[in-house]
A and B are shown apart, each in its own frame.
Chain A
C-alpha cells in the first residue's frame, strides 16, 4: 500500500517536473536574449551612446532629438500610409480569394499553392525582382513602349511622392496568399448546418456572406490584422531591396531609420530611442489582442 503510494507520488512528481525541465533552457534563452536585450536597448535610449554603447545617463535628450528630426517624421508618416494600405488591401484580397476558392471549384488544389508561392520568397528577392519590374528604364514601362504603347508611364518607383506605394504593391503581392490561407482555414471551420439553415430561410448569397460568414470569421480577421501589422512595422529588407530608402529618403520606414542611425551614423542613442518607440507601437497593437484572447479563455 505504502509502496504504491510513493510510486504514484514519484510518477506525478516527474510528470510535473519534466515539462518544466525541458522548457527551461528555451525560456531562459528567451528571457535573456529577447527580454534582457529589450531592457538593454531601453537603457541605451537614455544614454549618450554614439558609435559603441556607453553608459552615461542623459535622460530624455535622445527622445527630444528624435522627435525633432524631420527624417523621423517622414518615416512615421510612411509607416502610417504603408501599414494602413498594406493591411486593408491584403485583407480584402485575401478574403476575396479565400471566398472564391471555397466555392468547390475544380482546380482548387492547384490554385491554392500558386497563390501561396510568393510567401516562400524572402523579402529581399521580392524587393529586387519588383525593383527591376517597376524600373521605368528596364521594366514594365519600357516593355509597354517596346510593344507599341508609347505613352504608357509608370515611373512611381523613381517618384518621391509615389515610391511608398510601390512598396505597398510588392508587400501585398508577397503576403496576400498567406492571408488567403488563413481565411480559407477559417472558412473551412464554419459549420455547414448554419449555412444550410440560412439558405432554407431564404437568405441570398450576398446576405449569407455579409451577415453570417464574415462575422464568424472574426478570429481569422484578428489574427490576420495582428500578423500584418507586425510585419508592416518591422519591414526593413523589403525597403532596402526595393528602393534603398527611396528617391532621397522618401521611403524611409522606422526600421530603416533605426538601422541607419544606430550603425551608419554613429548615433546609437537616437537609434535605440526609435527602437523603443517601435516596440511601444507593436505593444499597443498586441496588448488589446492578448487581453481579448485571454479574457475569452476565462
Chain B
C-alpha cells in the first residue's frame, strides 16, 4: 500500500518522534552565576542531573544583581517560551506567581517534607497561596565584612567590634597607604552595604519599620540620616576608581592585599575560597559592626515555570528534589559561600565562616532578627527596591547630603509604592 516514498516518510516521521522524546527530559536553566566561584557551585547541580540522565541547557546572563537576567526572562515568557527553571530572588518570585506563570511543586515538597525543614521567613518567598513554587538553593547574608588578615596583623589592628573601632581601623589602613575599603560603584553594591549600615545605625526593628513596613517617618528620621552619614564615612575610605567596578574585582583587591576591607554578601567568600585562601588564616569574616545578632538574608531559589509536557514537569520535579537534597545543599553551599536552606543539614563540612553563618542564621531565626535584605529584593517589591537604590547611589556619589538623602528616600519610596 505505501510506496517506497511513503515508507521513507513513515520512517523519517518515526525517527523524528523518537528524537523529540529523547530531548524532553532536558532542563533549560536561566541564571546569572557567571563568576568563578558561582559557576563552580552550579556545576555541582549540573553533574548531579547528568548522572540522572537529565540534560542541562545553560542560559547564563551575567550581571551581579540579576537585572539583565530578569529582563531576558520577561522577553522569553512574553514570547511564550519560558525556560524550565530560573534563578530568582525574593519578591520577583511572588510577582511571577501572581502572573500565573509558575508551576507547582507541592507533590515533591510533600513527599520530602520541605515544610518542616525550611525556615518560615524563607517559605514566605518559596510559596504562593500555600503552594510550593520554587526550591531554595541557599541562604546568603548581606551584612558581612571581609578583611585581609595580613594587612590587619601588619598594622596591629584587632577585628573591630563597634562602628567606631571599625572607622578607626579603616583610618589606620588608609594612613598606611593601602586602600581601606574595596568597593564596586554599582547601585546594588551600595545598597548591599546600606543593608548592614542601617541596622548598625538603628537596629533590626528600625530596619523592619523602614524597609518592610515602608514607614515614611522611619525613612526620613534622624536615625536614617545617621545611616547616610555612615555611608559618607565609608565613601571617604574607598579609592577614587570605584565607580562601575564589579564586585568580584573589589574582592580581588582584598584577596591580593591591595585593600583591607570589603562590605559584601557572603558570595564574596566563594571568591576567596576559589583563590585558595583559608578563613581565619588569610581572611576574616565578621558582621558589619553594629549589626551583630541580625542576619539580612537573600535566598537564591530556582522558580519552576509552567511547562507543557509531562516529561518536562517530571524533569523539573527531579531538579527540585536534587536541589533540596541534603547532600547537594552541603556540596553546593561549600563552594558558593552561602549557607544551606535546610535547617537539618550537618554543617561540619563547611569552612569556619560557613559554620559561623549557619549558627548565626539559626540564632537570628529563633530571635526574630532573620530579616529579608532590601538590597536583594527580599524586603519590598522591585519598584520600591529600585527607588531606594536610586537615592542610596545618588547620595553615595555626592548628589545629596545626608539630610536631603533621608527626605528624598521617603519621597522616592512613596512615589514608587
Q: Which residues of A come within 8 Å of B, CB atoms?
A: 50-52, 65, 68-71, 135-137, 155, 157-158, 160, 243-244, 247-250, 260, 263-267
Contact = CB atoms under 8 A, between A and B. Distances in A.
Contacts of B333: none
B3 to A, nearest CB: 39
Contact of B243 (A158, A260, A264, A266): A158
Nearest to B71: A263
A247 B185 CA distance: 8
A158 B398 CA distance: 11
Interface stretch (B194-202, B361-369, B386-394): B386-394
A266 B387 CA distance: 11
Nearest to A157: B243
A69 B415 CA distance: 8
9 residue pairs, one from A and one from B, having the closest CB atoms: A248-B397, A137-B241, A265-B386, A248-B394, A263-B71, A247-B397, A266-B382, A158-B243, A248-B393
* A-side interface mostly: loop
Contacts of B394: 248-249
Interface of B: 67, 70-71, 74, 77-78, 95-96, 99, 185-186, 240-241, 243-244, 381-383, 386-387, 390, 393-394, 396-399, 408, 415-416
Consensus secondary structure, chain B interface: helix
A249 B416 CA distance: 17
A158 B396 contact: no
B240 A158 contact: yes
Contacts of A68: 415
A136 B241 contact: yes
A172 B262 CA distance: 38
Contacts of A267: 383, 416
A243 B244 contact: yes
B415 A244 contact: no
A294 to B, nearest CB: 39
Nearest to A70: B408
A136 B71 contact: no
A244 B408 CA distance: 22
A264 B241 contact: no
Contact of B74 (A71, A135, A155, A263): A263
B415 A264 contact: no
A103 B314 CA distance: 75
Nearest to B408: A70
Nearest to B393: A248
Contact of A65 (B244, B397, B415): B415
Contacts of A69: 415
